Chains A and B, each alone.
Chain A
Amino acid sequence: MSTDPTVLAEAAAPDAERLLADLPPTPAVWCSGLRKRYRKQTAVDDVSFTVGRGEVLGLLGPNGAGKTSVIKILLGLVRPDAGEVLLLGRPGTDPQARARVGYLPELFRYQPWLTAAEVLALHVRLAGAAVPAREQRESLALVGLTDRAGDRVGGFSKGMQQRLGLAVALVARPELVLLDEPTSALDPIGRADVRDLLLSLKERRVAVLLNSHLIGEVERVCDRVVILDKGRVAASGTLAELLGQRELRLRLDEVSAEAEARLAAAGQLTHSGDSYTVTLPADQSATMVPDLVAELVRLGVRVHAVEPARISLEERLLDILRAGTGGDR
């Protein structure tokens, strides 16, 4: 019996490769059990979440909730007391994990003695990416700084520095972008630009972790949100999950049994007197409400009022945070 182990290993290698290739892609961010204390202050307390490839995740929470701390831990800027991080499938302790990661810090400052174009060139070099000068200029154009490419950053206004920071985060062709309050210093047009930018990243399947106090912004672009409060995950889920299902409130007359069956088919039905409430599933089609109304009318129901209802993310956020404070005291 002489089985050469090297021969066996060689035979197994292509199999292993195929197995790896067949594996579903690792998430853009995976973190588990993150903890961080600053002296007496617990900044992050057992935080775990994932961001899928191409997913836009919103990180919400009040001031001091630990959002920036979590982002810094993910990027290896801050050492967690406990917990593990994987970025794009590599452990966060390996610098190479950040090769395809872009970051806009909350406190954005760039070398004041360099020009905007030089800052981008520096980051491209450090990232080890081969990004031609033309593409670097395009990144500057994307954030509206084309005219200032040759000016020293020291002379930039705050908003211009934040725009430059966005360009820096995006210049090295990232697969994951972490943005810590990317619009805090931007004018209304800049904010709209960032929203478009986020949507275009989503289209290109770039994963985004977005921390913002502008809930409207988050609600419009994010697939999922994680809500932090006092360093803990207070709630998380897709927008639909967090906001609950939509409701349809109707005021109806002359409802036949057949019409009532039709209503019940649309969703869970409750009614008292002439007011009917249908809880609609999250994945309803856009024409569902008009279809339902048309059918009710055809069935001889007299429709007095139809009122779709949905609580906003802001209301939901305030609910969650208030419940958190209430429970503590």
Chain B
Amino acid sequence: MIARTVLTLAVLTLQEALRRRVLRSLVVMTVVLLSLSAWGFYRLDSEFGTLTSGEARLAASTVLNLVMFGLSLIAALGTAFLAGPTLAGEIESGIALAVMTRPVRRSAVLLGKWLGLVAFGSGFVIVAGLGQLLIVRITVGYWPPQPATGLALLAAQTTVLLTLGLLLSTVISPMASGIVAVGLFGATWIAGVVGMVGEAFGNDGMAGVGTVSRMLLPTDGLWRGAMHAFQHPGLSQFPAFEDSPFLSMAPLTATYLAWAALWVAVVLGLSALAFQRRDL
């Protein structure tokens, strides 16, 4: 009964994502980014033919992470602007009225929508990310050490953000929820960079900013884990690169992953609670 509702709504949400204009803009942005990066990597290879292989790998790793950041940003924008309208927009327009008067639990509807969004966001990140990895492999011959882990972490980052978007959309308007979610995503990334700089200069206060923000919204922490999975393992031996925002020196701990999972569960639970109490 509940499983059927969840599944039906997941399929419906996926269908919505595929049929709405969000997908088209997402595809256009991704294709633009991937072609730009293909061109960039091609130039990198031909211009810097004189580099030692170690230097070339460092360059490739850094640029790959930079492009992956672009991808995760696109995924964040796409899912945040999909997650908001899918709930708040439907409440505002009245689409929710007919659906919610079927023999369904509100929490099951929410869970179904979340599953659909997760499937869509993860699907996008994995397809586009894999495309990017292949581009790097073809142009400069670099293949990351843990591609599957990296892509999974990117998908997890997207999941965290869209869960936040879903919570926001149960309490504020659809557009605002998208904007706030992307804003928070950007803010934690910047806080993460601030934290790194703080660590590099031994400034505990600044380092604390990064740590705290990574706990409050796990997008940046997961992103750092993904970067670590993509970059060349030899890079950790160069302490000089420690303060680059597009390199990560340490892999994710299992504790942090568990925290991220708990975070998603709690935020989803809060959304369900807020949705349950809301008058439609």
Interface residues of A (CB under 8 A from B): 72, 75-79, 95-99, 101, 103, 105, 107-111, 113-114, 122-123, 125-128, 165, 168
- B contact residues around A76 at 8 Å (CB): 100-101
A75 touches B95 (CB 8 A): no
Which of B15, B93, B97, B102 has a CB less than 8 Å from the CB of A127? B102
B280 located at the interface, meaning its Cβ lies under 8 Å from any Cβ of chain A in the complex: yes
A95 touches B280 (CB 8 A): no
Chain B, interface residues (CB within 8 Å), range = 20 to 34
Nearest CB to that of A105 among chain B residues?
B97
Given contacts A77-B97, A122-B8, 12 further A-B contacts (CB under 8 A): A75-B101, A76-B100, A77-B101, A78-B279, A95-B103, A95-B104, A96-B103, A103-B98, A109-B97, A111-B16, A113-B19, A128-B103
- A contact residues around B19 at 8 Å (CB): 113
B250 located at the interface, meaning its Cβ lies under 8 Å from any Cβ of chain A in the complex: no
A107 touches B97 (CB 8 A): yes
A126 touches B94 (CB 8 A): no
Identify which of residues 84-138 in chain B touch chain A, using a CB-to-CB cut-off of 8 Å: 93-95, 97-105
In whole angstroms, how far apart are the Cα atoms of A77 and B97 in the complex? 7
- A contact residues around B20 at 8 Å (CB): 113
- Looking at chain B's contact residues, the main secondary structure is helix
Which of B93, B95, B97, B277 has a CB less than 8 Å from the CB of A79? B277
- A contact residues around B94 at 8 Å (CB): 105, 107-109
B72 located at the interface, meaning its Cβ lies under 8 Å from any Cβ of chain A in the complex: no
**In the complex, what's the smallest C-beta–C-beta distance from A89 to chain B, in angstroms?**
14
Interface residues of B (CB under 8 A from A): 1, 4-5, 8, 12, 15-16, 19-20, 93-95, 97-105, 277, 279-280
In whole angstroms, how far apart are the Cα atoms of A23 and B200 in the complex? 79
A77 touches B103 (CB 8 A): no
- Can you list 28 A-B pairs, Cβ within 8 angstroms, ordered by A? A72-B279, A75-B101, A77-B97, A77-B100, A77-B101, A77-B279, A77-B280, A79-B279, A95-B103, A98-B103, A105-B94, A105-B97, A107-B94, A107-B97, A109-B93, A109-B94, A110-B98, A111-B16, A111-B95, A122-B12, A125-B8, A126-B5, A126-B102, A127-B103, A128-B1, A128-B4, A128-B103, A168-B98
Nearest CB to that of B21 among chain A residues?
A113
- Count chain A CB atoms within 10 A of each CB in B5, B8, B93, B279 and give the residue with the most: B279
- B contact residues around A96 at 8 Å (CB): 103
- B contact residues around A97 at 8 Å (CB): 103
- B contact residues around A105 at 8 Å (CB): 94, 97-98
- A contact residues around B105 at 8 Å (CB): 95
- B contact residues around A72 at 8 Å (CB): 279-280
